[in-house]
């Protein structure tokens, strides 16, 4: 099946619009920090004929698929196997010292959700894996098997914002005493049985727990906390960055880093701005933009998206 039939890039036209002023210059370099199946990248390469792409992804399957999809663009494309907090080293490895545009499309990809054996989707029974990079690291089954009740409760609270975190942690510990929990279907059954009937009517019992396990397994927030400032440092003056977030923890982190980036560091009370303390970036959108109703209807995965964007307006002080 054509990838265009199974993967619709979220807020594609808005991303192109926001990044266009930075990417229309000769020799522009664009970083897709979350390459996935290459949908956004393909559109950027088509729209800007002189553009050079550096695509990053930790998922080897995604890199393979995107590599096939982007092969027609030849040497305009460089793909690097890395987590996005490795952006500086990735750019150095392909001989790039500064870039004109960066896109982060965060969260779990269409590929990871749709591949049953990856274990990301609570709606299908599969091995409880959830690693974005299946070549390394612990699985969700490892976390469920080895974390204490207190550790499980904390990650469900912190990464899933789950009100029933304690109840779910106790249920998991009790269930694993009877036998290993190795499949997503087993975990869904445990969580469902532990959920009061009234709470089951407000959403799927597994949704927030699966989110929390995925974030823990892939150290997503720690990587993002390092990646956003590192990516800002790679932008040239006039360069722009767009971030698409799909849950509140990601969006709050991006909002905080952007707020720091656009703030002046001049001491309060001065009659004029000190040039070396002026903001290095400016916001390109007010608050966080969402997909419109039409896009949400066409592409349900756009429903939770929050878009934020900034532009670099000056170099850092020496």
Backbone CA torsion sign across 175, 178, 184, 188? negative
User: 38 labelled as ligand-binding?
Assistant: yes
- DSSP-assigned beta bridge partners for residue 119: none
Q: Which of 272, 298, 158 is nearest to 215 (CA)?
A: 158
| Residue pair 81/94 in contact by the 8 Å Cβ criterion | no
Establish whether 40 is an annotated binding residue: yes
The reply, when asked if residue 112 is annotated as ligand binding, is yes
CA 167, 173, 179, 180 torsion-angle sign: positive
269 is in an annotated binding site: no
179 annotated ligand-binding residue = no
d(C-alpha 157, C-alpha 209), whole Å: 9
Eight-state DSSP code of residue 300: G
Across-strand partners of 137? Answer: none
Residue 168 annotated as part of some ligand binding site = no
Which pair of structure tokens corresponds to residue 89?
């080293």
Q: How far is CA 270 from the centre of its chain?
A: 39
Binding-site residue numbers for S-adenosyl-L-methionine are 38-40, 57, 84, 105, 112
Binding-site residue numbers are 38-40, 57, 84, 105, 112
């Amino acid at each position: 099946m054509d990838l265009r039939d199974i993967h619709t890039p979220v807020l594609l036209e808005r991303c192109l619009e926001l990044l266009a002023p930075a990417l229309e210059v000769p020799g522009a370099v664009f970083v897709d920090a979350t390459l996935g199946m290459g949908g956004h990248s393909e559109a950027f390469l088509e729209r800007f004929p002189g553009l050079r792409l550096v695509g990053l992804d930790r998922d080897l399957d995604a890199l393979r698929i995107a590599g096939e999809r982007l092969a027609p663009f030849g040497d305009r494309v460089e793909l690097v196997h890395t987590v996005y907090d490795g952006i500086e080293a990735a750019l150095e490895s392909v001989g790039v010292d500064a870039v004109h545009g960066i896109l982060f499309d965060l969260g779990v990809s269409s590929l990871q959700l749709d591949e049953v054996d990856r274990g990301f989707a609570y709606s299908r029974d599969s091995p409880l894996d959830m690693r974005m990079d299946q070549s390394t690291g612990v699985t969700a089954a490892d976390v469920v098997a080895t974390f204490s009740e207190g550790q499980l409760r904390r990650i469900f609270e912190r990464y899933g914002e789950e009100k029933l975190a304690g109840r779910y942690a106790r249920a998991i510990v009790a269930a694993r005493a009877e036998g290993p929990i190795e499949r997503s279907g087993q975990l869904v059954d445990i969580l469902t049985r532990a959920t009061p009937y009234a709470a089951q009517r407000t959403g799927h019992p597994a949704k927030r727990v699966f989110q929390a396990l995925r974030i823990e397994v892939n150290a997503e927030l720690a990587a993002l906390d390092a990646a956003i400032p590192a990516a800002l440092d790679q932008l040239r003056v006039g360069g722009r960055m767009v971030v698409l977030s799909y849950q509140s923890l990601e969006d709050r982190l991006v909002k905080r880093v952007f707020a720091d980036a656009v703030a002046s560091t001049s001491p309060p009370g001065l009659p004029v701005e000190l040039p070396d303390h002026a903001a290095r970036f400016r916001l390109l959108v007010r608050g966080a933009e969402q997909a419109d109703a039409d896009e949400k209807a066409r592409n349900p995965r756009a429903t939770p998206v929050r878009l934020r964007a900034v532009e670099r307006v000056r170099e850092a002080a020496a």
